């Protein structure tokens, strides 16, 4: 399936920032004296769980949809997604008034399926394997002629996600570090490009879904991967372009346990009064797990989404 050339720069992120003006929320940055004390650092939480559709994915999806020509837009858009990207793309397509077709694995969280459906997209369920998702997507594109908008390995997506980093640095201009979750790597790659020569940027990842860590430390992108983490948004492997950017610019990938993720979710709820999904909580979990890395530093943490079932 043909895709656009995978190139992206800081200039593309600045263009995306202008393109998205008025279409998205500028999410708040929250503080907690209690969490600062616990971490031994100054923490600044960028609350993307308050973004449209409940996650940062709205940034990349809307940037991609608004980048389509009129002729392309008339054909609509399609993707495969376990949740947040699918909902974001469905919302962005509805905003432009074009059709969206979302392939969803049958084991996707119910709350995320609901989030996709409420924006009027066609939902196509399939088995929860990557080959099944790709086959179902190919059939949808062949049937509809829709434009495939990848979840993360796409220059338009990376540029859109990078705008969260720009906003964070504008709100807190003297950060020492930024920590983002890493799944497919679109947000981490976009943040790395957005900061240029600014703060050090780390990715945070579950031990039970450690493909980014293994890829980063070995220099070879891991493609065979069987994640078993509660952080469903981080179960995918790194995209090719994202890996290239992360490998050359990232300060490191920090691993956290399932228990640490759960504890961080509870702390964010108790001290910030914010409901976040497990994928968001890996950032705080990482800062707390590695005090020698972050002691007495000013740290931006991007909370990526809040779409989780109540059972979590």
Supply the mean pLDDT for the chain: 93
pTM higher than the cut 0.75: yes
What is the predicted pLDDT for the residue at 311? 62
For residue range 109-153, what is the model confidence (pLDDT) as tens digits? Answer: 787 788 888 899 999 999 877 788 899 999 999 999 999 999 999
Query: Model confidence over 38-62: pLDDT tens digits?
Result: 999 999 999 999 999 999 999 999 9
pLDDT recorded at residue 309: 67
1 within domain boundaries: no
Q: How many CB atoms lie within 10 A of CB 154?
A: 25
101 contacts 137 by C-beta, under 8 angstroms? no
204 plus 258 within the same structural domain = yes
What is the percent of the chain where pLDDT is above 70?
A: 97
Residue that is last in its domain, among 101, 121, 148? 148
Please give the pLDDT value at position 4: 46
* CATH value at residue 63: 3.40.50.1100
Higher local confidence (pLDDT), 111 or 311: 111
Nearest CA-CA partner of 82 in 53, 44, 112: 112
pLDDT computed for residue 113 by the predictor? 83
Domain that holds residue 29: 10-56+155-303
**Active site residues per annotation:** 57, 82
pLDDT tens by residue, 216-237: 999 999 988 888 899 988 988 8
Using alpha carbons only, what angle is made at residue 87 by residues 85 and 92, rounded to the nearest 5 degrees?
Answer: 90
Specify if 311 maps to a domain. Answer: no
Residues 179 and 262 in one domain: yes
Residue-wise pLDDT for 191-219, tens only, equals: 999 998 899 999 999 999 999 999 999 99
Determine contact, residues 66/23, Cβ cutoff 8 Å. Answer: yes
Model confidence at 1: pLDDT above 80: no
């Amino acid at each position: 399936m043909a895709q656009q050339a995978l190139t992206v720069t800081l200039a593309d992120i600045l263009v995306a920032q202008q393109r998205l003006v008025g279409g998205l929320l500028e999410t708040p940055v929250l503080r907690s004296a209690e969490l600062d004390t616990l971490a031994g650092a100054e923490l600044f939480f960028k609350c993307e769980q308050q973004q449209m559709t409940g996650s940062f994915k709205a940034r990349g999806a809307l940037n991609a949809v608004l980048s389509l020509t009129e002729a392309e837009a008339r054909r609509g858009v399609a993707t495969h997604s376990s949740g947040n990207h699918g909902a974001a793309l469905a919302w962005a397509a509805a905003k432009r008034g074009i059709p969206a077709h979302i392939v969803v694995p049958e084991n996707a969280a119910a709350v995320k399926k609901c989030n996709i459906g409420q924006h009027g997209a066609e939902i196509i369920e399939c088995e929860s394997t990557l080959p099944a998702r790709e086959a179902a997507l190919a059939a949808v594109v062949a049937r509809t002629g829709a434009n495939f908008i990848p979840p993360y390995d796409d220059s338009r997506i990376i540029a859109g996600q990078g705008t969260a980093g720009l906003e964070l640095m504008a709100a807190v201009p003297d950060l020492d570090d930024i920590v983002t979750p890493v799944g497919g790597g679109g947000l981490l790659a976009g943040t790395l490009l957005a900061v240029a020569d600014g703060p050090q940027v780390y990715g945070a990842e579950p031990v039970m879904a450690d493909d980014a860590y293994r890829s980063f430390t070995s220099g070879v992108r891991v493609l065979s991967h069987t994640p078993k983490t509660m952080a469903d948004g981080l179960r995918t492997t790194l995209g090719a372009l994202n890996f290239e950017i992360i490998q050359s610019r990232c300060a490191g990938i920090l691993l956290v346990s399932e228990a640490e993720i759960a504890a961080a979710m509870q702390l964010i709820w108790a001290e910030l009064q914010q409901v976040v999904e497990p994928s968001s909580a890996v950032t705080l979990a990482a800062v707390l797990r590695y005090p020698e890395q972050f002691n007495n530093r000013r740290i931006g943490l991007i909370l990526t989404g809040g779409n989780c079932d109540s059972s979590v």
